[in-house]
Amino acid sequence: MGPYCTLLLAQLGADVVKVETPAGDVVRYIGDERGAGMGPVFLNANQGKRSVALDLKDPQGHEVLLRLVAGADVFVHNIRPEAAHRLGIGYDRIAAANPAAVYCALRGFGGEGPYRDRAAYDDVIQAGCGLAAVQGAGDEPAYVRTPVADKVVGLLAVSAITSALLARERTGQGQEIEVPMLESMVAFTLLDQQGGYVFDPPRGPTGYARTASPYRKPYRTADGHLSVMVYTDAQWRAFFGLIGRSELADDPRYRTITERTRHTDELYQILEKELLARPSDEWLAALSAAQIPVAPVRSVPDLFDDEHLAAVGLFEQVEHPTEGTLRLARFPISFAGEHPQRPRPAPRLGQHGTEVLTELGYGPEQIRRLAEAGIVVGAVEEVSAVEEEEIR
């Protein structure tokens, strides 16, 4: 969630300095077939960032961090509170170095509760927030097959950070932000799943009949699968007309959204049966003409050949200095019709150590000593030839 949050900030134009341990972010090694610490998830999640590899357990490494903080607008981490304090990156230490900094701690659980120091990953939060039970539809619990909690909480953190930056513009004050995964995902899940438990005492069961229906799924056609979402009164009237059953529009069970929700399973069984009668292309044309939302079911490889995504230029080729040609999705939002400039490719471990430390006022000999002590790890060899001569 931290890397996703800071990816979005980098794509919006922030200069993001990623502080890694000397061993590097563990995500570097997911799917890292070349053994270069540049796996595909890392390459996606760390575009636009500069990497500094520091041993924060050493006082000299911590001093480098505090110099970074002194000139920063925002400090983001996703470390448990107890571990963050042990590393010396609690809010008090960061605020002392830079009172105007926006400090954003992304955590598994809120700091005032009994779970505050528990370890948390996306799977744990999907289970704890009710989402796995919802996905399992009352049978075996199941996870969403993407780290949805990490990504949702990362998005919330971006929203909180930009709000805090606006507040600082008005007040001159930085502040501490806590973004807890469990609480965030409980609120996310309950929006449509709370059902009768919105009322106290409850007036009915939890859940949302439409999304809980076992017949809500991509439907098989005569030659493939389609996603069809018939929802409004007008859309259902149009669909009933397409299948030659216009009289169903006046059936009391289907006339209003309240009644349709009570009879969701029946309606979705009609969809399931009728879609089998024609091939996908015919349904795509007919449903689109009737203003009924419909889409083919795409695999991940299919996305790279999608005509709409090609027309809007979502995917761009990027030349990475060590990994070759990459195909990456650009930031999808536009401002006044323009997309933010593509950020630099994801960094090698410690790639920008010399660059960043030089910006902080460290001289070549100081950088060399930190590198030799293992406090700064990475591309210290990028000190210029002139600096090398000065060191000798």
| Residue carrying structure tokens 């930056």 | 165
Task: Note the pLDDT tens digit of each residue in 9-64.
Answer: 999 999 999 999 999 999 999 999 999 999 999 999 999 999 999 999 999 999 99
Strands 102-107 and 175-180: parallel
pLDDT band at 386 (very low <50, low <70, confident <90, very high): very low
**Which domains are delineated in the chain?**
2-189+305-386 (3.40.50.10540), 219-296 (3.30.1540.10)
pLDDT at 392 over 80: no
Residues 65, 19 contacting (CB under 8 angstroms): yes
> Nearest Cα to 326, choosing from 17, 11, 38, 9?
38
Q: How far apart are CA 212 and CA 206, in angstroms?
A: 10
Backbone angles phi, psi at 37, to 5 degrees: 70, 30
**pTM here?**
0.91
Half-sphere exposure of 8 (CA within 13 A, CB side): 19
Residues 202, 196 contacting (CB under 8 angstroms): yes
Task: Note the pLDDT tens digit of each residue in 294-313.
Answer: 999 999 999 999 999 999 99
Give me the percent of the chain exceeding a pLDDT of 70.
96
Q: How far apart are CA 285 and CA 189, in angstroms?
A: 34
Three-state SS letters, 307-333: HHHHHCCCEEEEEECCCEEEEEECCCC
Joined tokens for residue 23:
């061993």
pLDDT at 388 over 90: no
CA 83, distance to chain mean position in Å, is: 23
Task: Note the pLDDT tens digit of each residue in 79-135.
Answer: 999 899 999 999 999 999 999 999 999 999 998 999 998 999 999 999 999 999 999
Query: What integer pLDDT is reported at residue 390 of this predicted model?
Result: 46
What are the E-state strand segments in the chain? 16-20, 49-54, 74-77, 102-107, 175-180, 219-220, 225-228, 294-296, 315-320, 324-329, 376-377
In 256-285, which positions are buried (b, 16+ CB within 10 angstroms) versus exposed (e)? Answer: eeeebeeebeebbebbeebbeebebeebbe
Q: How far apart are CA 142 and CA 134, in angstroms?
A: 8
Query: What integer pLDDT is reported at residue 384 of this predicted model?
Result: 44
Q: How far apart are CA 372 and CA 296, in angstroms?
A: 57
Mean pLDDT to the nearest integer, 249-263: 95
Backbone angles phi, psi at 307, to 5 degrees: -65, -35
| Residue carrying structure tokens 């490494």 | 61
Task: Note the pLDDT tens digit of each residue in 345-383.
Answer: 999 999 999 999 999 999 999 999 999 999 999 855 554
Joined tokens for residue 158:
């971006």
